[in-house]
A and B are shown apart, each in its own frame.
Chain A
C-alpha cells in the first residue's frame, strides 16, 4: 500500500470527462479532403513508380511480392558492341511491367529488394478508380509516377 498514491476517488473518470470536453471544444484536426488536399510527408507510401531504364527484368520483385501482384515479361535484345571490335551484348528489355494495386498491400518489399533501384515510393495517392480493373497500372502509368518521386534524402555520413 505504501507505494500507492492517495488519489481523488474515480479520478480517471473525471479526467476522461475533462479530456473529451476539451477535445469537443477544440476545432477538429480534420482536412476537408476533396476541397483541401492533404499534404503527405515526402516519404509516404502512396504508389510505386518504375524506372524502366534501370530495370533488368531480374524478377526479384515479382518473386518476393507477398501478394503476387507484379507481372513482368521481357525479352533479350542484341546490343551493338560498346567499342569497335567488341562483342555484341544481350540486354534484357521489359515488355510488360504491371502492378495490380487492387492486390498490393504496400509492404514495399519490391522497392527494398530491387538491386538496381528501379522502383520508388512516391507520395501520390489519388488513383482510386470506379472499376477495379483500372487499378492494374501498366508500364506507362508506372513511368508516369516516376515524375512524382520526391528527391531522395541525402545519405547519412558517420
Chain B
C-alpha cells in the first residue's frame, strides 16, 4: 500500500478511536460515578440515558471564549494543551489491537511509550508556568513532582514485565503471554503475566498509573479545595477541552498499556490465529474497559492523599518494592 495512504488511514483510525473512546469514558465516568453515589447522573441529553451528555458538554466548551491572562506567556500558554494531547496520542502508535492491528510495531515499544507519555509533564509544567497565576504554578509544580516520583515505579513495574517477556516490543509481550505456559490433560494453557507472578508489578503499575493520570486519590495537582483547578485554572474554551479530552484519552492509553502488559492484550484463550485480527480489538477493548472501570471506581471511592503522603508512598514504598520485585523476577527468569 502507498505509504501516505496507510499513514492517513492509521492517523484517522487512531484519532477516531481516541476521541470517541474519550467521550465514552467521560460518559462512563458520569454514569458510574452517579450510581456509586446513589444518583442517576445525566438523564435527558440525547433522549435516553443521557448518552449525549459528553457531546453536549464538549460543544459547550468549544463555544466558550478562549481566554488568556494578561500576564501569560501567550505562545507557551497556547501550546501547552497540545503537548499534553500529542504525548497521549503518540502512545497509541505502538499499542497493538491485533497481530497486525498496530500503528507501528516498534522493537522498543514499551520504552517508546514510557518516554513519550512522560512528555505530558512538560505540557503540564508549561501550562502551570505560563499561566501567570499562583494556583497554576503551584499545580504545575505539584504535577511535576508527582509525575516524576511516579514515573519511577511505573518504569520499574514495566521493566519487570520486560524482564519476564524478554522483549520490549508490545506485540512480543503479547506473544509471550499467549505462549503455552504448561499443559494440563493435553490442553495447552497460556496465562497473562498477571497470573504468571507479576501481581506485585501489576499493583504497583496501577497505583503509578492512577498517579500519572493525576486522578483521585492522587489528584493534588488540581486539588480544587486548595488550588482552584491547579494548572487548568486559567484555561477555557478549546484549550480546556484539549486538556480534558487528553486526560481521558491518557486514561484509555494507560489502561491499554496495562491490559497489554499484564492482561494479555488482544490475546484471548481459544481464539485461533487466523481470527486474532478480527477478535483481537474486541478482546482488547474489553480489557481496557475493565481497567478503566477500576480507575473510575477508585476515583469515586477513595479520599485524596496529602502531598507528603503521596511522595512518601512513592519513594519509601513503591520504588523499593518495585526494585525488589525486579530482582526476584530476574532470579526466577534465570533459574527456571
Contact = CB atoms under 8 A, between A and B. Distances in A.
A17 B301 CA distance: 6
B17 interface: no
A17 B294 CA distance: 10
Contacts of A20: 36, 297, 300-301
B34 A16 contact: no
Top 6 closest pairs, chain A to chain B, by CB: A20-B36, A24-B35, A20-B301, A16-B301, A24-B36, A28-B40
Contact of B35 (A13, A17, A19, A28): A28
B302 A16 contact: yes
A84 interface: no
Interface of A: 13, 16-17, 19-21, 23-26, 28-30
B40 A23 contact: no
27 contacts: A13-B301, A13-B302, A16-B301, A16-B302, A17-B297, A17-B298, A17-B301, A20-B36, A20-B297, A20-B300, A20-B301, A21-B36, A21-B297, A23-B36, A23-B37, A23-B38, A24-B32, A24-B35, A24-B36, A25-B35, A28-B34, A28-B35, A28-B38, A28-B39, A28-B40, A30-B38, A30-B40
Nearest to A25: B35
Q: How large is the interface on B (under 10, 10 to 19, 20 to 34, 35 or more residues)?
A: 10 to 19
Interface string B11-43: 000000000000000000000101111111000
Q: Which of B32, B35, B37, B297 has the most CB of A within 10 A?
A: B35
Contacts of A30: 38-40
A19 B37 CA distance: 10
A99 B317 CA distance: 63
Interface in B258-312: 297-298, 300-302
Contacts of A16: 301-302
A81 B32 CA distance: 73
